[in-house]
C-alpha cells in the first residue's frame, strides 16, 4: 500500500492571508485551523501529516508545530531547511521524521531538490544530530545519481524524490517520459542502496495514476491539490479520493 502524507501548509496559507498579525489564541475567529484540518484528514485516512516551518513563517507558524506534535495521532513529518535554528526546533519537538529541503526566501514553493553533494557537511551534521534523538531523516532530492548515492552514504534512511520536474512536464509527452524515467532510475537506485523511497511535489488527482507506478514507492507527500480539492468536496472526500487513487 502506498501511504499518503498530507501537507497542510496551504491551509495555514489561507489563515495567514487574513490573520498574519493576530497572536495565536488571541482571537476566537481565526480560521481555518490547520491542526483541526489535520485531525479531520487523519480520520479520513491520511497516514501522516507534513508541515514546513519556513524561516519567514509565511504559512505554518511555531504555535502550529507545537500543536501538531501534541494533537495528531499519526506521524508528524517536519519539513525544514538545514539551519541551526530548525535543527534546534526539531530536537526539541521530536517529530517522527524530518525532511530536509532547500529553502530560498524568494521562492513561492520549494523549487528543486536539496543539493546534498554541495552541502555535504551541513547535511551530514543534521543527519547525525537527528539520529541522536531518534528522528528519522528524509532528504528531498532530485532523482539524480550522485545525490542518491550520497544520501545513502551519509546514512539518511529515507529519500523523498522531487517530482516537480515530472509534474511540470506532465502534458508534454516526450519530456514527461524523460522525467518519469529519471524518477524510475532514481527509485531503483535508492531502493538498491537500502533507502526508503518517498515522492512529493506537484502530485495531483490526474498525475497520481502515473506516479503510483513508480517502483518501491512507500509514501507520497501531497499538499496543494488536496487542499484545493477540499474547497469543493471537503477534506474527507479529498483525502479519501486520493488514497483510493494512490492504491487503485
- Residues interacting with ligand PXP, by CB under 6 A? 7, 9, 52, 79, 99, 101, 109-110, 140, 160, 200-203, 221-225
The distance of closest approach from Cβ of residue 29 to ligand PXP in the complex, given in angstroms and rounded to an integer, is: 27
For ligand PXP, give the closer residue by CB, 23 or 109.
Answer: 109
The distance of closest approach from Cβ of residue 226 to ligand PXP in the complex, given in angstroms and rounded to an integer, is: 7
Phi, psi of 146 (to 5 degrees): -65, -35
| 218 is an active site residue | no
The distance of closest approach from Cβ of residue 197 to ligand PXP in the complex, given in angstroms and rounded to an integer, is: 13
User: Between vectors from CA 169 to CA 236 and to CA 180, what angle results, nearest 5°?
Assistant: 85
CA–CA separation, 239 vs 218, rounded Å?
Answer: 17
The distance of closest approach from Cβ of residue 113 to ligand PXP in the complex, given in angstroms and rounded to an integer, is: 9
Q: How many CB atoms lie within 10 A of CB 50?
A: 27
| 52 is an active site residue | yes
Phi, psi of 160 (to 5 degrees): -115, 110
CA–CA separation, 142 vs 57, rounded Å?
Answer: 25
**Bridge pairing between strands 3-7 and 158-162:** unpaired
The distance of closest approach from Cβ of residue 157 to ligand PXP in the complex, given in angstroms and rounded to an integer, is: 16
> How many CA atoms are closer than 13 Å to the CA of 171, on its beta-carbon side?
2
For ligand PXP, give the closer residue by CB, 212 or 224.
Answer: 224
DSSP lists the bridge partners of residue 212 as: none
Give me the catalytic one of 10, 42, 52, 59: 52
Could you tell me if 205 and 175 are in contact, meaning their C-beta atoms sit under 8 angstroms apart?
no
Cα Rg, the chain, nearest whole Å: 17
| 79 is an active site residue | yes
For ligand PXP, give the closer residue by CB, 129 or 168.
Answer: 168
Give me the catalytic one of 10, 42, 59, 79: 79
Could you tell me if 165 and 179 are in contact, meaning their C-beta atoms sit under 8 angstroms apart?
yes
Catalytic residue annotation: 52, 79, 201
Amino acid at each position: 500500500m502506498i501511504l499518503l502524507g498530507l501537507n497542510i501548509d496551504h491551509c495555514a496559507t489561507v489563515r495567514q492571508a487574513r490573520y498574519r498579525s493576530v497572536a495565536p489564541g488571541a482571537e476566537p475567529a481565526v480560521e481555518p485551523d490547520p491542526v483541526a484540518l489535520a485531525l479531520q484528514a487523519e480520520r479520513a485516512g491520511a497516514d501522516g501529516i507534513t508541515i514546513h516551518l519556513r524561516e519567514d513563517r509565511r504559512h505554518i507558524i511555531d504555535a502550529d508545530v507545537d500543536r501538531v506534535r501534541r494533537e495528531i495521532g499519526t506521524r508528524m513529518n517536519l519539513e525544514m531547511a538545514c539551519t541551526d535554528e530548525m535543527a534546534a526546533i526539531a530536537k526539541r519537538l521530536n517529530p517522527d521524521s524530518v525532511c530536509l529541503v532547500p529553502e530560498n526566501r524568494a521562492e513561492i514553493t520549494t523549487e528543486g531538490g536539496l543539493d546534498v553533494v554541495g552541502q555535504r557537511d551541513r547535511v551530514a551534521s543534521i543527519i547525525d544530530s537527528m539520529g541522536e534523538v531518534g528522528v528519522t531523516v528524509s532528504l528531498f532530492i532530485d532523482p539524480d545519481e550522485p545525490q542518491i548515492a550520497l544520501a545513502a552514504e551519509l546514512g539518511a534512511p529515507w529519500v523523498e524524490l522531487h517530482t516537480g520536474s515530472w509534474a511540470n512536464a506532465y502534458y508534454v509527452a516526450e519530456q514527461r517520459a524523460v522525467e518519469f524515467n529519471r524518477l524510475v532510475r532514481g527509485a531503483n537506485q535508492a531502493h538498491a542502496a537500502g533507502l526508503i523511497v518517498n515522492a512529493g511535489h506537484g502530485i495531483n488527482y490526474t498525475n497520481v495514476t502515473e506516479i503510483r507506478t513508480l517502483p518501491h514507492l512507500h509514501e507520497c507527500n501531497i499538499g496543494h491539490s488536496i487542499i484545493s480539492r477540499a474547497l469543493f468536496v471537503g477534506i474527507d472526500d479529498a483525502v479519501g479520493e486520493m488514497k483510493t487513487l494512490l492504491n487503485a
